[in-house]
Chain A
Amino acid sequence: RKEVEQDPGPFNVPEGATVAFNCTYSNSASQSFFWYRQDCRKEPKLLMSVYSSGNEDGRFTAQLNRASQYISLLIRDSKLSDSATYLCVGQGSSYKLIFGSGTRLLVRP
């Protein structure tokens, strides 16, 4: 079993839709979590960190549920420019970053 697992998608949604991704992790020692975004044929870039209390950045909301060992990302009012692959990332005390395989999002006009 992979340490960080995601539904690969693709999620195909119309502009303006709300879409949610989930991610599960198996290592309970993981301390920090992130969502990265990767555009086609580009490098991954940090989208946002994930905190137990939940955090919001504009149209994006991230949540962490330690009891159930899952992380979520909610995107409201989807834009065409949101089309990308979203990578869930776990980090342990040793700063080792483990990436999920990513969830692909396609936003259509």
Chain B
Amino acid sequence: DAGVIQSPRHEVTEMGQEVTLRCKPISGHDYLFWYRQTMMRGLELLIYFNNNVPIDDSGMPEDRFSAKMPNASFSTLKIQPSEPRDSAVYFCASSYTGGNTEAFFGQGTRLTVV
């Protein structure tokens, strides 16, 4: 298995633009997590899904952020409009509750909003 795949790896965008981050979880995994990492705040859980259904989105910072999981093999995190304070590394992770629940992370998307 190729692991969790995120795209793009790097994104530079101007303030006010829409940004879409993509994630393909490991096949067969039933949980998907979106995290944001900054030096100041560390790894913050934004939202997570179980069997494609959002379970907890209390970590989503504001209405500018939205996430979807239309099927078991794809999820998106969208920021519209983007702001400079959204600059961070965004990680997607997936896990399988039938196993040891280890979360496998993608390589992350480094977002810079200028």
Best-buried of B50, B56, B97, B101 by chain A (most CB within 10 Å):
B101
CB-defined contacts of B107 to chain A, threshold 8 Å: 42-43
- Contact A91–B101 (Cβ < 8 Å): yes
- Contact B43–A87 (Cβ < 8 Å): yes
- Contact B42–A100 (Cβ < 8 Å): yes
Select one of B35, B56, B95, B106 contacting A99, CB under 8 A: B35
- Contact B108–A43 (Cβ < 8 Å): yes
Is residue B114 contacting chain A, with contact meaning CB distance below 8 A? no
Is residue B103 contacting chain A, with contact meaning CB distance below 8 A? yes
CB-defined contacts of B48 to chain A, threshold 8 Å: 95-96
> Interface extent on B, as a size class?
20 to 34
Looking at the assembled complex, report how far the CB atom of B34 sits from the nearest CB atom of chain A, in whole angstroms. 12
Is residue A61 contacting chain B, with contact meaning CB distance below 8 A? no
CB-defined contacts of B102 to chain A, threshold 8 Å: 34, 46
- Contact A44–B55 (Cβ < 8 Å): no
CB-defined contacts of A87 to chain B, threshold 8 Å: 43
Is residue B71 contacting chain A, with contact meaning CB distance below 8 A? no
Residues facing A in B32-75 (CB within 8 A) are 33, 35, 41-43, 45, 48, 50, 55-56
Known: A46-B102, A100-B42, A102-B42. Contact between A95 and B35, CB under 8 A? no
